[in-house]
Amino acid sequence: MRISGIYLLVFFIVHVIHAASILDRMTWGQMLFLTYSPMGFVVLSVMIALGTFHAINGIRLMFQQGGLGIGTPTRPDYPYQIQSMGKKNRLCIYVTMGVSALALYYALDVFFEF
């Protein structure tokens, strides 16, 4: 989650600085050409993937902070068993990955018109 957040922040900063430097129609056309190039397709696809995963995982973590998906506290007897990675939390992680994949597919379909 931290890595995706850092990449998104860097992309956002570069995007804002770069968009602010576009002053004429010719530069805009060059930027649009870069967007439709294979490298632009890969970069935008990765950013969409990171954005969807980051957003949906953040929602999952908000629910987890509220107590959803966390097991009941137990006595820490040996051998220790991790309560935070119980069946409910694993299910939430898998659902997060599935919803992220669906959101990524939808975003790519809308953005690149598959």
**Global model pTM greater than 0.75:** no
Q: What is the pLDDT of residue 84?
A: 66
Q: What is the pLDDT of residue 114?
A: 61
Domain count across the chain: 1
Per-residue pLDDT of 36-78, as tens digits, reads: 888 888 888 888 888 888 988 898 888 888 877 676 777 777 8
What mean pLDDT do residues 87-114 have?
84
Per-residue pLDDT of 3-30, as tens digits, reads: 888 988 998 898 888 777 777 777 778 8
- DSSP characters for 35-95? HTSHHHHHHHHHHHHHHHHHHHHHHHHHHHHTTTT-PPP---PSSP--STTSHHHHHHHHH
Range of the domain at 51: 2-112
Read off the tokens for 2: 């931290």
Q: What is the pLDDT of residue 60?
A: 85
CATH code, domain with 31: 1.20.1300
Q: Which of 35-44, 73-82, 101-110 has the lowest mean pLDDT?
A: 73-82
Q: What is the pLDDT of residue 81?
A: 72
